[in-house]
Chain A
Amino acid sequence: MSIEKYQITANSDQKVFDFVSIGPNGKFHKRVVFAKTSYEGVFSLNLADFDQNSGYLDYYSISDNGDRDKILATVVSCLYAFFNEYPKVYVYATGSTTVRTRLYRMGMSKYYELLEADFNVFGELEDDWERFEKNKSYKAFMVSIKQK
């Protein structure tokens, strides 16, 4: 994606990524973690604000720092790095609140053509799954990298 992104620091197995959001409300340390689920090969995507002093991860904070698209593009960069290391896995993503899930969906709809070039994106309905469709309401998302 050619959208502006933040510089990222990753751990050695590329499951933990840190970056700093910078905007009118200040600097916010963000952490992306790909966590194992009970199903082999399915990971949960987690994005949180990270307190450098206490180590506390806040999944519900609203920094409102005017950089939503830049943060989403940075998370997509984390996905590229993660899939570069684990090309056959799936990533399950949902917001910590319904509002945040909606924001993710809006961002994914806005940049869907870019995402779709490299990723398979699916949306979770109440009792079903389907290929992601722009501007449709979903509970959650599943993403895998296209095998080329």
Chain B
Amino acid sequence: MMKVLEISKLDTKRKPIITIDDNLDKYSDIIPCQEKVDKANHMLKTNNFFEKMGLKERITKP
């Protein structure tokens, strides 16, 4: 099923640029690039964004 995604910041109501296609759902659970995910996991262990930035400003953990 196709439908148009509306995002006010992108003014998509006036000029639609994003269409939702359920056929892409089959790709959502695939790990796309293990190397990049590994980089993110490595950063979170060795240079944790929330620990480092939490010392400098109020960071809301997700």
Interface residues of A (CB under 8 A from B): 5-18, 31, 33, 35-42, 44-46, 48, 57, 59, 77, 80-81, 84, 88-90, 92, 94, 96, 118, 122, 124, 127-130, 140, 142
Contact = CB atoms under 8 A, between A and B. Distances in A.
B41 A37 contact: yes
Interface residues of B, number: 35
A124 B62 contact: no
B36 to A, nearest CB: 5
Contact of B20 (A7, A10, A36, A142): A10
Contacts of B40: 37, 39, 42, 44, 92, 94
Interface of B: 5, 7, 9-10, 17-25, 27-28, 30-33, 35-37, 39-41, 43-44, 47, 49, 52-53, 56, 60-62
A38 B44 contact: yes
Nearest to A117: B9
A118 B9 contact: yes
Given A44-B36, A88-B62, A14 B5 contact: yes
Contact of A9 (B10, B24, B35, B61): B24
B47 to A, nearest CB: 6
Contacts of B52: 128-129
Nearest to B52: A129
A137 to B, nearest CB: 15
Q: For the complex of A and B, list the 10 residue pairs with the smallest distance between their C-beta atoms, beginning with the closest.
A: A41-B62, A11-B24, A33-B32, A129-B52, A37-B40, A92-B40, A46-B32, A44-B40, A8-B18, A38-B41
A35 B5 contact: no
Contact of A16 (B24, B35, B60): B24
B10 A10 contact: no
A13 B22 CA distance: 9
